[in-house]
Amino acid sequence: MLRNKRGIWIGLFSLVLCGMIFSGCSGSKTAEKVKVGEVTRSVFYAPEYVALAKGFFKGEGLDVELQTIPGGDKTMTALLSGAIDVALVGSETSIYVYQQGSDDPIINFGQVTQTDGTFLVARNEARTVDWNKLKGRNFLGQRKGGMPQMAGEFTLRKHNIDPHKDLNLIQNIDFANIAPAYLSGTGDYVQLFEPQASIIEKEGKGHVVASFGTESGHLPYTVFMSKQSYIKKNSDTVQKFTNALQKAQNWVQQHSPEEIADAIIPYFKDTDKDIIISSVKRYKDQGTYATDPIVDDKEWNNLLDVMTQAGELKEKVPAKAIVDNSFAEKSKSSVK
């Protein structure tokens, strides 16, 4: 009996040892690190946080390191310098780089949002806006040359308002301080992203009266992009990244604002869950979240029109110059 037990223990030890040797020989593939910089932290980018929270990036073998770099100019500087591999920022920034004649242009490869994400918030106004009432009022806007400001001006002009003549336009406040400035009493109207708009409504300091996203139409508003050299050298990584984005976009389309809020709330620890839910619902209702990563020609041409009206476009930049839809098209056809 003792001999039999000894034989069993030797056998078990041999199996464990073999397993350890096999594991050591086969090794485990190290996840590919991708450093991503987002221009701001916003519910507007819900698909990005879903891709992280639901393990879609990890499932593609990617270790995504996310950091927030406030301001499109700062985010683009980080991308150009190699401090990050991929940027989530407005497509207009890639056009600015292209217009400067870069030898290594910034390429858009994965669209996340397809409308402007800002809302017109009024202190004392009816629930639906009378655009004429904005004339002569203090309007707390966004940074000159940025997509929020350009889409805002595009909308105002559509309603026969010259933003630089008919408004007292305030643009000397940093992006991160716009909502606090409004809360402290600056401006009769303000242009805000979510969840700031919903927070102001909850505090009774104002309410949303219009959507610049609905008013300005579909745009490649926020897109994952990288340097052309990075994409050429890491095409497999970019494809995996885009696959994860498509999975997240599918998930967002198939789930409720409450379920999306549950998934992304770790990225908004200081925000009430009901605020996140209302913000996501507002974006879903107006079709802000892109259903796939493709930047189509109609969206691109609308972007060029918006930039032309804002006086920020030196020449028409064809999409084929700085948009690569090959990864997005493959993801859309293969990811279910």
Q: Report the helix count and the strand count for the chain, using DSSP H and E.
A: 16, 10
Token pair in block for residue 264: 């992304």
- Order of strands across the sheet that contains 86-89: 62-68, 32-38, 86-89, 222-227, 106-113
Q: Where are the extended beta strands (E) located within the chain?
A: 32-38, 62-68, 86-89, 106-113, 119-122, 138-140, 168-170, 189-192, 207-211, 222-227
Beta bridge partners of 225: 87, 108
In 3-state terms, what secondary structure has residue 122? Answer: strand
Helix-, strand-, coil-residue percentages of the chain, each rounded to 5: 50, 15, 35
Q: Please tell me the predicted confidence (pLDDT) of residue 126.
A: 67
This prediction's pTM: 0.87
- The low-confidence residues of the chain, meaning pLDDT below 70, are 1-29, 125-126
Token pair in block for residue 35: 């450093």
Q: Please tell me the predicted confidence (pLDDT) of residue 125.
A: 67
DSSP 289: B
Q: Please tell me the predicted confidence (pLDDT) of residue 18.
A: 43
Token pair in block for residue 59: 């499932």
In 3-state terms, what secondary structure has residue 17? Answer: helix
Q: Please tell me the predicted confidence (pLDDT) of residue 27.
A: 45
